[in-house]
């Protein structure tokens, strides 16, 4: 807590400059006014552990620290390790690494659902249900539920119905825990909204991947406006084969729309690496690019 004599030690000139900066919308305050009136950060930038080449590894947090990221989106696990993030000792290891490297756990993703489909495999019921408890233990608010590869449900009404039934059974648990389940898929905004409406829970939302939607030919800028922050729980900032700002997605426009819909929370880097590029310098460039946009 700032001491009273420290406040009054600030010169009149510095105080005037601080007030002028605030009036201009600046986020920079001179010390000790910066301590007295901290500005709340609204956007946190992380990366997926698989994009950091450390899927299911605690070392992902160290790599994120070296890059300068705010956090890491962790994989719940794999079939081989039986979704290891469900184990208390694994959770403890990640929490200790988070503290050691000053990098937050920014989210959880169940990427194994691309191989073992949520729509059809009964094993996935426990994975999704248990992930809610894991999220609560790790202080995470969003769980990415993946629907690619074997798990694809795009333009498949039967599988979509099965997914609706499954979500309907688990959403009360998510609501009680204050956890959001985010659907990431090849579907367009309309199909996502149809599933969310059928389930009828405010804790089921869209996990929006700009590169995936662009690849499918959707108007990502109109979709972001249509879905809004009410329906988008998180973003993947991604390019396929390019660094951010050098590919097909207009990230300046994306960021402007995020500000327009008043989005706050995590954005996670995924992909965004040219063939043959090194991870650390490429992701430092991606991070600097995103920070310049925000």
Question: Does 237 share its domain with 274?
Answer: yes
- One domain, residues 66 and 102: yes
Q: What is the pLDDT of residue 187?
A: 98
Give the integer Cα–Cα distance in Å for 217 and 206.
18
Per-residue pLDDT at 179 exceeds 90:
yes
Report the C-alpha gap between 131 and 175 in whole angstroms: 13
Of the chain, the percentage scoring pLDDT greater than 90 comes to 86
Structure-derived torsion over alpha carbons of residues 62, 67, 71, 75, reported in degrees to the nearest 10 = -60
Whether 154 and 281 map to the same domain: the answer is yes
Same domain, 22 and 133: no
How high is the pLDDT of residue 61? 98
CA distance 183 to 227: 13
Q: Hey, what are 269's tokens?
A: 């880097």
The alpha carbon dihedral of 61, 62, 64, 70 has a sign of positive
The predicted-structure confidence for 79-112, as pLDDT tens digits, reads as follows 999 999 999 999 999 999 999 999 999 999 999 9
Q: What is the C-alpha to C-alpha distance for residues 167 and 132, in angstroms, rounded to an integer?
A: 12
Q: Which token pair is 221?
A: 């800028």
pLDDT band, residue 24 (cuts 50/70/90): very low
Same domain, 159 and 33: no
Cα dihedral 71, 77, 78, 84, rounded to 10, equals 150
79 Rama sector, left if φ>0, alpha if ψ -120 to 50, beta otherwise: alpha
Asked, as a colleague might, if the bond just before 12 is cis with ω within 30 of 0, I would say no
Query: 109 and 22 share a domain?
Result: no
Q: Comparing C-alpha atoms, which of 135, 132, 128, 133 is closest to residue 113?
A: 128
Q: What pTM was computed for the model?
A: 0.86
Alpha carbon 174 to chain centroid distance? 17
Number of domains composing the chain? 2
Residues 293 and 140: their CA atoms lie apart, in Å, by 25
% of residues, the chain, pLDDT over 70: 86
Q: Please measure the distance between the N-terminal and C-terminal CA atoms of the chain and give it in whole angstroms.
A: 29
Mean pLDDT (whole number) for 243-256: 97
Vertex 80, ends 79 and 85: CA angle to 5°? 75
Shared domain for 251 and 284, answered yes or no, is: yes
Distance in angstroms (rounded) separating the CA atoms of residues 165 and 208: 22
- CA–CA separation, 94 and 98 (whole Å): 6
The dihedral built from the CA positions of residue 30, 70, 230 and 203, taken in this order, carries a sign that is: negative
* CATH number for the domain that contains residue 138: 3.20.20.150
Predicted pLDDT at 22: 40
Q: Is the pLDDT of residue 186 over 80?
A: yes
Among 20-29, 182-191, 250-259, the minimum mean pLDDT is found in 20-29
Three-state DSSP class for residue 53: coil
Q: What is the pLDDT, as a whole number, of residue 67?
A: 98
Question: How many CA atoms, within 13 angstroms, populate the side-chain half-sphere of residue 28?
Answer: 2
27: burial class by Cβ within 10 Å (0-12, 13-18, 19+)? exposed
Whether the predicted pLDDT of 269 surpasses 70? yes
Distance CA 30, CA 17 (A): 8
Residues 12 and 61 in one domain: no
Q: Tens of pLDDT along 27-75?
A: 444 444 344 434 446 999 999 999 999 999 999 999 999 999 999 999 9
Are 62 and 172 in a shared domain?
yes
Instruction: Say what the pLDDT of residue 205 is.
Output: 98
> Which domain covers residue 10, as residue numbers?
1-39
Is residue 33 located within the same domain as residue 44? no
Q: Are residues 100 and 217 in the same domain?
A: yes
Residues 284 and 191 in one domain: yes
């Amino acid at each position: 807590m700032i001491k009273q004599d420290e406040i009054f030690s600030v010169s009149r000139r510095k105080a005037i400059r601080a007030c002028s900066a605030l009036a201009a919308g600046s986020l920079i305050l001179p010390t000790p006014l910066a301590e007295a009136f901290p500005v709340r950060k609204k956007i946190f930038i992380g990366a997926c552990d698989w994009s950091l080449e450390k899927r299911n590894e605690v070392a992902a947090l160290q790599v994120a620290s070296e890059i300068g990221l705010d956090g890491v989106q962790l994989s719940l696990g794999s079939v081989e390790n039986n979704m290891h993030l469900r184990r208390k000792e694994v959770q403890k290891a990640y929490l200790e690494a988070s503290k050691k490297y000053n990098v937050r756990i920014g989210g959880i993703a169940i990427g194994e659902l691309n191989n073992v489909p949520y729509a059809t495999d009964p094993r996935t019921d426990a994975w999704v249900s248990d992930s809610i408890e894991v999220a609560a233990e790790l202080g995470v608010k969003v769980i990415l539920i993946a629907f690619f590869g074997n798990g694809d449900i795009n333009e498949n009404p039967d599988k979509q119905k099965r997914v609706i039934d499954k979500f309907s059974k688990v959403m009360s648990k998510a609501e009680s825990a204050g956890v959001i389940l985010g659907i990431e898929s090849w579907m367009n905004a309309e199909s996502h909204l149809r599933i969310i409406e059928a389930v009828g829970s405010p804790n089921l939302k869209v996990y929006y991947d700009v590169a995936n939607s662009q690849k499918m030919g959707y108007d990502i800028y109109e979709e972001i406006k249509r879905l809004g922050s009410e329906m988008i729980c998180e973003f993947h900032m991604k390019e396929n084969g390019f660094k951010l700002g050098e590919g097909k997605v207009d990230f300046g426009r994306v960021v402007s729309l995020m500000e327009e819909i008043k989005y706050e929370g995590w954005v996670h880097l995924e992909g965004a690496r040219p063939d043959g590029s090194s991870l650390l310098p490429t992701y430092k460039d991606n991070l600097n690019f995103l920070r310049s946009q925000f």
